Amino acid sequence: MTITENPLLGRVKIDVQTPQPGRFVLGQSLINSSTERLASPANATTVTNIIGSAVQSITITRNVGDAGTLNFTLLDADTAGLSPGSWVQVAGMTTSGWGPIFQGTIRGYTQNIEDGHTYTTVAATNCYTELANQTRYGASSGTDTPDTWGERIDRILGSAPDLSTNLLTTGGTTYPAADSVHETSIANWLDIMCASSPTAGWFVSRANVVTVRANKPTGVSWYADPTGVWNPSTLLYTNITHAFDTADVVNEVEVTNHRRELNDQNEWQALDETTTYEDVTSRATWGAGTASADVCIADPADVDLLGPTLLTEPLNAPTSIRVNAQSNITAVTRAELLDRIAFGNDQRRITGITHEITPTRWMVDYELGAI
Protein backbone atom coordinates (compact mmCIF):
# COMPACT_ATOMS: atom_id res chain seq x y z
CA MET A 1 0.00 0.00 0.00
CA THR A 2 1.06 3.63 -0.48
CA ILE A 3 2.71 5.25 2.54
CA THR A 4 0.85 8.42 3.47
CA GLU A 5 3.01 11.36 4.56
CA ASN A 6 1.12 14.16 6.28
CA PRO A 7 2.21 16.75 8.83
CA LEU A 8 2.02 15.16 12.28
CA LEU A 9 1.72 18.39 14.28
CA GLY A 10 -1.48 18.00 16.28
CA ARG A 11 -1.43 14.22 15.86
CA VAL A 12 1.66 13.47 17.98
CA LYS A 13 2.86 15.27 21.09
CA ILE A 14 5.74 15.11 23.57
CA ASP A 15 4.75 16.10 27.10
CA VAL A 16 7.44 16.96 29.65
CA GLN A 17 6.78 17.66 33.31
CA THR A 18 8.72 20.73 34.45
CA PRO A 19 8.77 22.98 37.53
CA GLN A 20 6.41 25.93 37.30
CA PRO A 21 8.05 29.38 37.39
CA GLY A 22 8.33 30.64 40.95
CA ARG A 23 7.29 27.33 42.44
CA PHE A 24 10.30 27.13 44.72
CA VAL A 25 10.67 27.94 48.41
CA LEU A 26 13.73 28.34 50.61
CA GLY A 27 14.33 25.48 52.99
CA GLN A 28 17.02 23.90 55.13
CA SER A 29 19.08 21.01 53.81
CA LEU A 30 18.77 17.76 55.73
CA ILE A 31 22.37 16.97 54.78
CA ASN A 32 24.41 19.94 56.02
CA SER A 33 21.83 22.49 57.30
CA SER A 34 22.59 24.90 54.45
CA THR A 35 19.86 26.92 52.76
CA GLU A 36 18.60 25.37 49.51
CA ARG A 37 15.82 25.87 46.99
CA LEU A 38 13.07 23.28 47.37
CA ALA A 39 10.12 22.65 45.08
CA SER A 40 6.84 23.72 46.60
CA PRO A 41 4.81 20.56 47.27
CA ALA A 42 1.56 22.01 45.91
CA ASN A 43 1.15 22.44 42.16
CA ALA A 44 4.93 22.49 41.77
CA THR A 45 5.04 21.16 38.22
CA THR A 46 3.38 21.69 34.90
CA VAL A 47 3.12 19.48 31.83
CA THR A 48 4.27 21.14 28.61
CA ASN A 49 3.90 19.85 25.06
CA ILE A 50 7.26 20.52 23.38
CA ILE A 51 6.42 19.01 19.98
CA GLY A 52 6.61 22.50 18.48
CA SER A 53 10.29 22.82 19.44
CA ALA A 54 11.45 21.78 15.97
CA VAL A 55 11.39 18.05 16.73
CA GLN A 56 13.54 16.31 14.13
CA SER A 57 12.89 12.67 15.01
CA ILE A 58 11.38 10.41 17.66
CA THR A 59 12.34 6.77 18.18
CA ILE A 60 10.59 4.53 20.71
CA THR A 61 11.51 0.90 21.31
CA ARG A 62 9.78 -1.51 23.69
CA ASN A 63 10.46 -5.25 23.80
CA VAL A 64 9.36 -8.05 26.09
CA GLY A 65 12.12 -8.58 28.65
CA ASP A 66 13.98 -5.32 28.09
CA ALA A 67 13.90 -1.64 29.01
CA GLY A 68 11.70 0.63 26.92
CA THR A 69 13.62 3.54 25.42
CA LEU A 70 12.72 6.92 23.97
CA ASN A 71 15.10 9.14 22.01
CA PHE A 72 14.09 12.39 20.36
CA THR A 73 16.09 15.18 18.73
CA LEU A 74 15.24 18.89 18.93
CA LEU A 75 16.60 21.72 16.78
CA ASP A 76 17.73 24.91 18.57
CA ALA A 77 15.49 24.10 21.54
CA ASP A 78 15.40 25.54 25.04
CA THR A 79 16.63 22.77 27.36
CA ALA A 80 15.55 24.45 30.60
CA GLY A 81 12.79 21.90 31.23
CA LEU A 82 14.64 18.80 30.04
CA SER A 83 16.11 17.85 33.39
CA PRO A 84 17.16 14.25 34.05
CA GLY A 85 14.53 12.68 36.27
CA SER A 86 11.63 14.54 34.65
CA TRP A 87 8.53 12.64 33.53
CA VAL A 88 8.06 12.47 29.76
CA GLN A 89 5.32 11.15 27.49
CA VAL A 90 4.84 10.67 23.77
CA ALA A 91 1.20 10.37 22.75
CA GLY A 92 -0.85 10.01 19.57
CA MET A 93 -4.25 11.49 18.83
CA THR A 94 -6.76 8.62 18.76
CA THR A 95 -10.47 8.64 18.04
CA SER A 96 -11.07 9.15 21.78
CA GLY A 97 -8.31 11.67 22.54
CA TRP A 98 -4.62 11.50 23.31
CA GLY A 99 -3.25 8.02 24.01
CA PRO A 100 0.30 7.33 25.25
CA ILE A 101 2.74 5.33 23.17
CA PHE A 102 5.51 5.86 25.73
CA GLN A 103 5.77 7.16 29.27
CA GLY A 104 8.95 7.22 31.31
CA THR A 105 11.73 9.29 32.81
CA ILE A 106 14.30 11.50 31.11
CA ARG A 107 17.78 10.11 31.82
CA GLY A 108 19.80 12.85 30.11
CA TYR A 109 20.53 14.67 26.88
CA THR A 110 23.46 15.42 24.58
CA GLN A 111 24.00 18.43 22.31
CA ASN A 112 25.74 18.68 18.97
CA ILE A 113 26.45 22.06 17.36
CA GLU A 114 26.66 21.95 13.59
CA ASP A 115 26.46 24.74 10.98
CA GLY A 116 25.27 27.22 13.57
CA HIS A 117 22.46 25.00 14.85
CA THR A 118 22.20 23.08 18.11
CA TYR A 119 20.80 19.57 17.96
CA THR A 120 19.67 18.25 21.34
CA THR A 121 19.06 14.51 21.66
CA VAL A 122 17.06 13.50 24.72
CA ALA A 123 17.14 9.95 26.11
CA ALA A 124 14.49 8.43 28.37
CA THR A 125 13.59 4.98 29.67
CA ASN A 126 10.55 3.43 31.29
CA CYS A 127 10.41 1.92 34.79
CA TYR A 128 12.02 -1.34 33.63
CA THR A 129 15.27 0.48 34.45
CA GLU A 130 14.29 0.71 38.13
CA LEU A 131 13.31 -2.97 38.19
CA ALA A 132 16.64 -3.96 36.64
CA ASN A 133 18.63 -1.90 39.15
CA GLN A 134 16.98 -3.15 42.36
CA THR A 135 18.13 -6.45 43.83
CA ARG A 136 15.79 -8.92 45.48
CA TYR A 137 17.59 -11.10 48.03
CA GLY A 138 15.59 -14.29 47.78
CA ALA A 139 11.93 -14.82 48.61
CA SER A 140 9.99 -16.97 51.06
CA SER A 141 6.37 -17.48 52.04
CA GLY A 142 7.39 -17.37 55.71
CA THR A 143 5.23 -20.42 56.43
CA ASP A 144 5.22 -24.14 55.71
CA THR A 145 2.90 -23.48 52.76
CA PRO A 146 4.62 -22.24 49.60
CA ASP A 147 3.52 -19.04 47.92
CA THR A 148 1.12 -19.37 45.06
CA TRP A 149 2.43 -17.94 41.81
CA GLY A 150 0.38 -14.78 42.31
CA GLU A 151 1.50 -14.35 45.93
CA ARG A 152 5.13 -14.56 44.85
CA ILE A 153 4.58 -11.91 42.17
CA ASP A 154 3.04 -9.64 44.84
CA ARG A 155 5.97 -10.31 47.15
CA ILE A 156 8.55 -9.51 44.46
CA LEU A 157 6.90 -6.28 43.36
CA GLY A 158 6.56 -5.28 47.01
CA SER A 159 10.32 -4.68 46.82
CA ALA A 160 9.71 -1.95 44.24
CA PRO A 161 7.32 0.59 45.79
CA ASP A 162 5.88 3.58 43.96
CA LEU A 163 5.47 1.74 40.66
CA SER A 164 2.15 1.36 38.89
CA THR A 165 1.25 -2.30 38.44
CA ASN A 166 -1.41 -4.34 36.68
CA LEU A 167 -1.33 -7.89 38.04
CA LEU A 168 -3.53 -10.50 36.39
CA THR A 169 -2.57 -13.51 38.48
CA THR A 170 -5.47 -15.88 37.78
CA GLY A 171 -5.96 -18.30 34.92
CA GLY A 172 -3.30 -20.00 32.88
CA THR A 173 -1.07 -22.75 34.25
CA THR A 174 1.04 -21.86 37.28
CA TYR A 175 2.84 -23.77 40.02
CA PRO A 176 3.51 -22.92 43.70
CA ALA A 177 6.76 -20.99 44.16
CA ALA A 178 9.75 -22.36 46.05
CA ASP A 179 11.35 -20.59 48.99
CA SER A 180 14.67 -19.36 47.64
CA VAL A 181 17.81 -17.40 48.55
CA HIS A 182 18.55 -16.60 44.91
CA GLU A 183 19.82 -13.02 44.55
CA THR A 184 19.05 -11.13 41.37
CA SER A 185 17.26 -8.01 40.15
CA ILE A 186 13.51 -7.59 40.44
CA ALA A 187 13.29 -7.65 36.64
CA ASN A 188 15.10 -10.99 36.57
CA TRP A 189 12.84 -12.31 39.32
CA LEU A 190 9.82 -11.49 37.18
CA ASP A 191 11.54 -13.29 34.28
CA ILE A 192 12.10 -16.31 36.54
CA MET A 193 8.49 -16.43 37.70
CA CYS A 194 7.13 -16.09 34.16
CA ALA A 195 9.54 -18.79 32.98
CA SER A 196 8.08 -20.94 35.78
CA SER A 197 4.78 -21.08 33.88
CA PRO A 198 4.03 -22.12 30.30
CA THR A 199 1.40 -19.39 29.99
CA ALA A 200 2.71 -16.35 31.91
CA GLY A 201 4.35 -13.18 30.67
CA TRP A 202 5.21 -9.65 31.75
CA PHE A 203 6.21 -6.29 30.29
CA VAL A 204 6.16 -2.56 31.02
CA SER A 205 3.23 -1.04 29.17
CA ARG A 206 3.19 2.06 26.99
CA ALA A 207 1.74 3.90 30.03
CA ASN A 208 4.73 2.80 32.16
CA VAL A 209 2.73 0.20 34.09
CA VAL A 210 4.37 -3.07 35.16
CA THR A 211 1.99 -5.63 33.67
CA VAL A 212 2.21 -9.26 34.79
CA ARG A 213 -0.16 -11.89 33.39
CA ALA A 214 -0.54 -15.48 34.54
CA ASN A 215 -2.19 -16.11 31.19
CA LYS A 216 -1.05 -14.20 28.11
CA PRO A 217 -3.94 -12.90 25.94
CA THR A 218 -5.77 -15.80 24.31
CA GLY A 219 -8.00 -13.85 21.93
CA VAL A 220 -7.08 -11.96 18.77
CA SER A 221 -6.62 -8.22 19.35
CA TRP A 222 -5.61 -7.12 15.84
CA TYR A 223 -5.90 -8.22 12.23
CA ALA A 224 -2.99 -7.70 9.83
CA ASP A 225 -3.93 -6.63 6.31
CA PRO A 226 -1.84 -5.39 3.36
CA THR A 227 -4.75 -4.35 1.13
CA GLY A 228 -5.76 -1.07 2.69
CA VAL A 229 -9.20 -2.30 3.80
CA TRP A 230 -9.59 -0.28 6.99
CA ASN A 231 -11.43 -1.15 10.17
CA PRO A 232 -10.70 -0.18 13.79
CA SER A 233 -8.90 -3.46 14.56
CA THR A 234 -6.74 -3.56 11.44
CA LEU A 235 -3.00 -2.99 11.27
CA LEU A 236 -2.36 -2.09 7.62
CA TYR A 237 1.19 -3.22 6.94
CA THR A 238 3.46 -1.98 4.17
CA ASN A 239 6.13 -4.67 4.65
CA ILE A 240 6.16 -8.17 6.10
CA THR A 241 9.02 -10.53 6.93
CA HIS A 242 8.26 -14.23 6.79
CA ALA A 243 10.67 -16.91 8.00
CA PHE A 244 11.04 -20.65 8.34
CA ASP A 245 14.28 -20.98 10.29
CA THR A 246 15.85 -23.79 12.30
CA ALA A 247 17.38 -21.10 14.53
CA ASP A 248 13.99 -21.09 16.27
CA VAL A 249 14.32 -24.75 17.26
CA VAL A 250 14.84 -25.69 20.91
CA ASN A 251 15.24 -29.44 21.30
CA GLU A 252 17.44 -29.38 24.39
CA VAL A 253 16.74 -27.10 27.33
CA GLU A 254 18.49 -26.89 30.70
CA VAL A 255 16.11 -25.82 33.46
CA THR A 256 17.63 -24.59 36.73
CA ASN A 257 15.23 -24.54 39.67
CA HIS A 258 16.21 -22.11 42.44
CA ARG A 259 15.21 -23.49 45.85
CA ARG A 260 16.92 -23.46 49.25
CA GLU A 261 18.10 -25.90 51.93
CA LEU A 262 19.60 -25.80 55.42
CA ASN A 263 23.36 -26.31 55.68
CA ASP A 264 25.31 -27.91 58.56
CA GLN A 265 25.17 -24.62 60.49
CA ASN A 266 21.38 -24.61 60.20
CA GLU A 267 21.53 -21.67 57.80
CA TRP A 268 19.69 -21.36 54.53
CA GLN A 269 21.77 -21.82 51.41
CA ALA A 270 21.04 -22.10 47.70
CA LEU A 271 19.74 -25.38 46.33
CA ASP A 272 19.98 -24.97 42.56
CA GLU A 273 18.99 -28.09 40.64
CA THR A 274 19.49 -28.31 36.87
CA THR A 275 17.56 -30.78 34.73
CA THR A 276 17.91 -31.28 30.98
CA TYR A 277 14.90 -31.96 28.74
CA GLU A 278 15.38 -32.98 25.13
CA ASP A 279 13.63 -34.11 21.98
CA VAL A 280 15.86 -36.61 20.20
CA THR A 281 13.62 -36.82 17.14
CA SER A 282 13.68 -33.06 16.68
CA ARG A 283 17.47 -33.00 16.93
CA ALA A 284 17.74 -35.67 14.26
CA THR A 285 15.39 -33.70 12.00
CA TRP A 286 16.46 -30.09 12.51
CA GLY A 287 19.87 -30.25 14.17
CA ALA A 288 20.73 -29.19 17.70
CA GLY A 289 19.02 -26.18 19.24
CA THR A 290 19.78 -25.45 22.89
CA ALA A 291 18.39 -23.06 25.47
CA SER A 292 18.29 -22.56 29.23
CA ALA A 293 15.73 -21.33 31.73
CA ASP A 294 15.77 -20.29 35.39
CA VAL A 295 12.66 -21.13 37.40
CA CYS A 296 11.49 -21.13 41.02
CA ILE A 297 9.05 -23.99 41.61
CA ALA A 298 8.35 -25.63 44.97
CA ASP A 299 7.74 -29.19 43.73
CA PRO A 300 10.37 -30.75 41.42
CA ALA A 301 7.57 -32.83 39.88
CA ASP A 302 6.07 -29.60 38.55
CA VAL A 303 9.41 -28.76 36.93
CA ASP A 304 9.08 -32.02 35.02
CA LEU A 305 5.66 -30.88 33.80
CA LEU A 306 7.06 -27.52 32.69
CA GLY A 307 10.31 -28.65 31.06
CA PRO A 308 8.90 -30.32 27.93
CA THR A 309 6.72 -27.27 27.18
CA LEU A 310 9.90 -25.24 26.63
CA LEU A 311 10.90 -27.35 23.61
CA THR A 312 9.96 -25.74 20.29
CA GLU A 313 9.80 -26.55 16.58
CA PRO A 314 10.50 -24.11 13.71
CA LEU A 315 7.47 -22.23 12.45
CA ASN A 316 6.82 -21.08 8.91
CA ALA A 317 5.28 -17.78 9.93
CA PRO A 318 5.56 -13.96 9.90
CA THR A 319 8.33 -12.60 12.11
CA SER A 320 7.73 -8.85 11.69
CA ILE A 321 5.52 -6.30 9.97
CA ARG A 322 5.92 -2.59 9.28
CA VAL A 323 2.81 -0.45 9.66
CA ASN A 324 2.10 3.08 8.47
CA ALA A 325 0.70 4.61 11.65
CA GLN A 326 -1.20 7.31 9.80
CA SER A 327 -3.45 4.64 8.31
CA ASN A 328 -4.82 3.94 11.80
CA ILE A 329 -3.27 6.01 14.60
CA THR A 330 -5.78 4.66 17.11
CA ALA A 331 -4.73 1.05 16.46
CA VAL A 332 -0.97 1.65 16.60
CA THR A 333 -1.39 3.71 19.76
CA ARG A 334 -3.32 0.94 21.51
CA ALA A 335 -1.49 -2.17 20.21
CA GLU A 336 0.46 -3.64 23.11
CA LEU A 337 3.16 -6.20 23.82
CA LEU A 338 1.87 -9.80 24.02
CA ASP A 339 -1.25 -8.90 22.00
CA ARG A 340 -2.22 -11.43 19.34
CA ILE A 341 -2.30 -10.49 15.65
CA ALA A 342 -4.17 -12.63 13.13
CA PHE A 343 -2.81 -13.26 9.63
CA GLY A 344 -5.74 -15.08 8.10
CA ASN A 345 -5.85 -18.40 9.95
CA ASP A 346 -2.40 -17.88 11.47
CA GLN A 347 -1.76 -15.98 14.70
CA ARG A 348 1.37 -14.39 16.12
CA ARG A 349 2.14 -12.52 19.32
CA ILE A 350 3.70 -9.03 19.53
CA THR A 351 7.12 -9.28 21.21
CA GLY A 352 8.57 -5.91 20.23
CA ILE A 353 7.35 -2.48 19.07
CA THR A 354 9.46 0.28 17.50
CA HIS A 355 8.05 3.68 16.51
CA GLU A 356 10.02 5.89 14.11
CA ILE A 357 8.49 9.35 13.82
CA THR A 358 9.51 12.42 11.80
CA PRO A 359 7.53 15.64 11.24
CA THR A 360 5.68 14.00 8.32
CA ARG A 361 6.08 10.24 8.74
CA TRP A 362 5.24 7.69 11.44
CA MET A 363 6.19 4.05 10.88
CA VAL A 364 5.87 1.21 13.39
CA ASP A 365 7.73 -2.11 13.33
CA TYR A 366 6.19 -5.05 15.18
CA GLU A 367 8.39 -8.01 16.08
CA LEU A 368 6.35 -11.21 16.22
CA GLY A 369 6.74 -14.47 18.11
CA ALA A 370 4.92 -17.72 18.70
CA ILE A 371 1.65 -17.61 20.61
Query: Do 83 and 151 sit in the same domain of this protein?
Result: no
Inter-axis angle of helices 149-157 and 186-195, nearest 10: 170
Whether residue 235 contacts residue 328, with contact meaning beta carbons closer than 8 Å, is answered with: yes
Query: Do 238 and 343 sit in the same domain of this protein?
Result: yes
Query: Do 363 and 233 sit in the same domain of this protein?
Result: yes
Query: Do 53 and 79 sit in the same domain of this protein?
Result: yes
- Cβ neighbors of 150 (< 8 A, separation 6 or more) are 167, 169, 170, 174, 214
Query: Do 324 and 254 sit in the same domain of this protein?
Result: no
Query: Do 30 and 113 sit in the same domain of this protein?
Result: yes
207-235 pLDDT, tens digit each: 999 999 999 999 999 999 988 777 889 99
Q: Determine the pLDDT at residue 5.
A: 63
Query: Do 151 and 23 sit in the same domain of this protein?
Result: no
- Give the count of domains, the chain: 4
Boundary of a domain, candidates 262, 290, 310: 310
Q: Determine the pLDDT at residue 82.
A: 85
Query: Do 152 and 205 sit in the same domain of this protein?
Result: yes
User: Which residues span the domain enclosing 326?
Assistant: 228-243+315-369
Q: Determine the pLDDT at residue 43.
A: 53
Boundary of a domain, candidates 260, 295, 310: 310
Where b means 16+ CB within 10 Å and e means fewer, 21-30 reads eeeeeeeeee
Please report, in tens digits, the pLDDT of each residue of the chain (371 residues total).
555 566 788 899 999 997 665 544 444 444 444 444 444 444 557 888 888 768 899 999 999 999 999 999 999 988 877 889 999 999 999 999 999 999 999 999 999 999 999 999 999 999 999 999 999 999 999 999 999 999 999 999 998 878 999 999 889 999 999 999 999 999 999 999 999 999 999 999 999 999 999 999 999 999 999 887 778 899 999 999 999 999 889 999 999 999 999 999 999 999 999 999 999 999 999 999 999 999 999 999 999 999 999 999 999 999 999 999 999 999 999 999 999 999 988 999 999 999 999 999 999 999 999 98
Q: Determine the pLDDT at residue 81.
A: 74
Query: Do 238 and 333 sit in the same domain of this protein?
Result: yes
Total-model pTM: 0.90
